[in-house]
Amino acid sequence: MSNEKKDILSRVYLVYVVVVVFALVIIGQTVNVQIVQGAQWKEKAENLTIFYNSIEAVRGNIYAEDGSLLATSVPKYEVRFDANTPSVSDDFFYEKIDSLALKLSQLYPEKSKKQYLSELITARKKGARYHLIRRNVKFTDLKEMETFPIFRKGKYKGGFIYTQQNKRVKPFNILAARTIGYDREGIQPVGIEGAYSKELKGINGKRLEQKIAGGVWMPISDENEIEPVDGSDVYSTIDINIQDVAENALLKQLQLHHAGYGCVAVMEVATGEIKAIANLQMNKDSSYYESYNFVVGAATEPGSTFKLASLMAAFEDGYLTLDDVVNTEDGTTRFYDAVMRDSHKGGYGTISIKEAFVKSSNVAISKEINRVYTKEPQKFIDRLNKMYVNKKLDIELSGEGTPNIKNTTDKTWSGITLPWMSIGYEVELTPLNMLTFYNAVANNGKMVKPKFVKEIRYRGKLVRTIETEVLNPSICSQKTIDMAKEMLEAVVEEGTARNLKNNTYKIAGKTGTAQIANKKLGYKYKGDIKVSHQASFVGYFPADNPKYSCIVVVNAPSKGVYYGNLVAGPIFKEVADKVYATSIDIHKAINKTENLALSRIPYAKDGNYFDLKTIYTQFNIKTTENKAIDEWAKISTTPTEVIISSRKIAPIYVADVVGMSIKDALYILENQGLRVVFAGKGTVKNQSILPGSKIIKGEKIRLTLEL
């Protein structure tokens, strides 16, 4: 054999040996993977397709103060079908599938029976284990689907699979929508939803799920590994009735004046509780929607409503009194090269400081503030700061605007800053800042922080009470407060807000009409480009015993009317009238006439109508009944007869039991859920809880009896 042939054979043998060795390595590795390491790789494969996924906890509800639901989570279901479940044989499937398709088409008619039938058969043929039937299924529809052919056998025998998702809804739609807010993934949370997200969201659970074709996760078991813990409920300070009238009054005026946006806020004087907060902005189609919380976030030049703070600073520093006088000249005055004007052409002559405020004279107030502080303008700023005018409120809701009151060191400070600042320009405040300041005046100097939430509850059990926070126990002296109140009452009684005056209760407040500077022209007019305005009114009521404060701001009214008393004032009055009419506790007490007989006709206590009627019938005493009487009656006598009137007992308000016997009073009050203690004998002459107050179950009420 030649050397060449031997060389070729040796190469072939070498290749053969290499191939055999390589094959043996592959076989050995296969055996190792399948047998030796089989359990390990199987566990890894399962770990890649089986995972503990999170189960969303049911988010807590948000309530109004009376328990009305403002936001809740409504369960929605996603229904799927395991078309390849081993328990459903081909014979059973094809026997029942026609009926199932018919039922589905009847429940959801947007697809025909033929379409459902085709989809289900195709899913069966493809071996789909998680075929989608429908998303966003209501609970009632889910219960009905559980009775359908095949589905009625359940998950394992019928392939019927459903998972629950929770959808957040607001039962009152846009009512207080921005204040209620939202908390969505990837978006800055706002409102109560955002501020109390930790309490509302609860703790998510865990569920074992398997990843199947298409990247879909399918629950392996009906039982959860870790059950979710539902969120707590948040009880807000919002009064749904006041909120409703505020939004409707605001919408009506915005539409009337074709305004850019407007806002209203109502605060309880003593507690700082926000009872209503409405914000409406014009859309491109001229409709209005609550898209931004202007009350909280919009820091703008307030205009004349700021004059109160300016004068209070001068009062507190001892520079001015209500009786000091000032000459308004011809309705204009000059500061360097700038002219200050009054809305009243020709001026008001020489008037007192009180008159200047009541008439809202720019000239008078700017002249006096400039006169007394011109040598020490920083003293004016410092006094405003001490009264907390410039302080951010740090409320729990996000998006709070920042007040801007210049210091004399500010690079934009000029010779006209002080007089212009005194009438509400070159300063910026949010409506909530201004409302909080006026509320402090109504509260005799005590400034309380605006509060949106009263308490947190979990399944009805109290978790936490949100207490009222005092920002400043006294923003100024009582003497300054008294002067401020006198001016504010006079504005409505005889000044720029006379259209708000009524004979039932007193309102105190201040109108504001601020020009909104054009970016190019400032506060000037040029051709067709005109300065826009912001109308406002802020005050409190009843003026002699303040219970509520309120601010209204309407931005850019465009129908030629822009004064605060005409644009914002009517909104304030409509809200105040509604609140006063429905708040019995702020009405003046009615002098009760003694229940004494005016003749020899026997005297009787007020009480049960049927008992009283029986007694008078037995004694042949003439009675006259005023209108229909249900159960309880009030008695008065004349020389010839007894007059029986109806005595209404409202189920949610503390009953008026004065004039009744203790037997009837006990029956009524204890049935209302109150704990009654009493002292004395005879007729009820006094009760510790005023009639008409909202009932608090279990609260103690004391009755005083006299013969």
CATH classification of the domain holding 657? 3.30.10.20
CA atoms of 518 and 51, how far apart (whole Å): 60
pTM: 0.70
The overall average pLDDT reported for the chain is 84
State which residues form the domain around 660.
Answer: 607-706
Whether 230 and 310 map to the same domain: the answer is no
Residues 350-354 have a mean pLDDT of 95
* Total number of domains in the chain: 4
Whether 563 and 613 map to the same domain: the answer is no
CA atoms of 462 and 315, how far apart (whole Å): 46
- Which candidate, 192, 222, 186, places its Cα nearest to that of 207? 222
Asked if residue 600 has pLDDT above 70, the reply is no
Strand partners, 428: 404
Asked if residue 595 has pLDDT above 60, the reply is no
Asked if residue 1 has pLDDT above 60, the reply is no
Strand partners, 541: 548
* The pLDDT value given to residue 39: 62
Do residues 434 and 414 make contact, with C-beta atoms less than 8 angstroms apart? no
CA atoms of 538 and 500, how far apart (whole Å): 12
Per residue in 354-379, pLDDT tens?
A: 999 999 999 999 999 999 999 999 99
For the chain, how are helix, strand and coil distributed in percent, rounded to 5? 35, 25, 40
Whether 146 and 214 map to the same domain: the answer is yes
Q: Pick the more confident residue, 89 or 486.
A: 486
DSSP H or E segment with residue 420: helix 417-422
Strands lying side by side in the sheet with 216-219 = 50-55, 205-212, 216-219
Whether 7 and 67 map to the same domain: the answer is no
Residue 95 phi, psi dihedral angles, 5° rounding = -75, -35
* The pLDDT value given to residue 345: 86
The residues, ordered by sequence, that sit 6+ positions from 158 with a Cβ below 8 Å of its Cβ are 85, 87, 88, 150, 151, 152
* The pLDDT value given to residue 239: 93
Q: Pick the more confident residue, 521 or 533.
A: 533
Per residue in 141-171, pLDDT tens?
A: 888 999 999 888 887 788 888 877 778 888 8
Do residues 488 and 539 make contact, with C-beta atoms less than 8 angstroms apart? yes
DSSP state letters, 645-669: EE----TTB----TTBBHHHHHHHH
Asked if residue 438 has pLDDT above 90, the reply is yes
Peptide bond into 542 cis (omega under 30): yes
Residue 427 identity (one-letter amino acid): V
Half-sphere CA count of 9, side-chain side, radius 13 A: 6
Per residue in 218-231, pLDDT tens?
A: 566 555 566 778 88
Asked if residue 618 has pLDDT above 80, the reply is no
Whether 556 and 526 map to the same domain: the answer is yes
Confidence band for 615, pLDDT divided at 50, 70 and 90: confident
Cα–Cα distances (Å) from 13 to 2, 7, 20, in that order, read 17, 10, 10
DSSP state letters, 337-388: TEEEE-SSTT---EEEHHHHHHHT-HHHHHHHHHHHHSS-HHHHHHHHHHTT
Whether 322 and 440 map to the same domain: the answer is yes
* The pLDDT value given to residue 221: 59
CA atoms of 336 and 651, how far apart (whole Å): 67
Residues 451-460 have a mean pLDDT of 93
Whether 577 and 696 map to the same domain: the answer is no
Least confident of 149-163, 233-247, 376-390, 603-617: 603-617
Note whether residue 389 is domain-resident.
no
Say which CATH number the domain at 103 has.
3.90.1310.10
* The pLDDT value given to residue 519: 45
* The pLDDT value given to residue 7: 67
Do residues 677 and 702 make contact, with C-beta atoms less than 8 angstroms apart? yes
Residue 67 identity (one-letter amino acid): G
Whether 63 and 200 map to the same domain: the answer is yes
* The pLDDT value given to residue 52: 62
Confidence band for 487, pLDDT divided at 50, 70 and 90: very high
Whether 106 and 188 map to the same domain: the answer is yes
Do residues 137 and 77 make contact, with C-beta atoms less than 8 angstroms apart? yes
Strand partners, 472: 447
- Retrieve residue 252's tokens: 């009506």
CA atoms of 134 and 554, how far apart (whole Å): 46
Note whether residue 381 is domain-resident.
no
Strand partners, 526: 529
Whether 520 and 639 map to the same domain: the answer is no
Whether 573 and 480 map to the same domain: the answer is yes
Given the DSSP bridges, would you call strands 623-626 and 642-646 parallel, antiparallel or unpaired? parallel
Per residue in 34-57, pLDDT tens?
A: 666 666 655 555 445 665 666 677
Q: Residues, the chain, total?
A: 707
Per residue in 282-329, pLDDT tens?
A: 998 889 988 899 999 999 999 999 999 999 999 999 999 999 999 999
Residues 13-22 have a mean pLDDT of 74
Q: Pick the more confident residue, 136 or 646.
A: 136
DSSP H or E segment with residue 169: strand 160-169
Do residues 623 and 605 make contact, with C-beta atoms less than 8 angstroms apart? no
- Retrieve residue 160's tokens: 């019927």
Do residues 250 and 423 make contact, with C-beta atoms less than 8 angstroms apart? no
Last residue of one domain, picked from the residues 557, 586, 615: 586
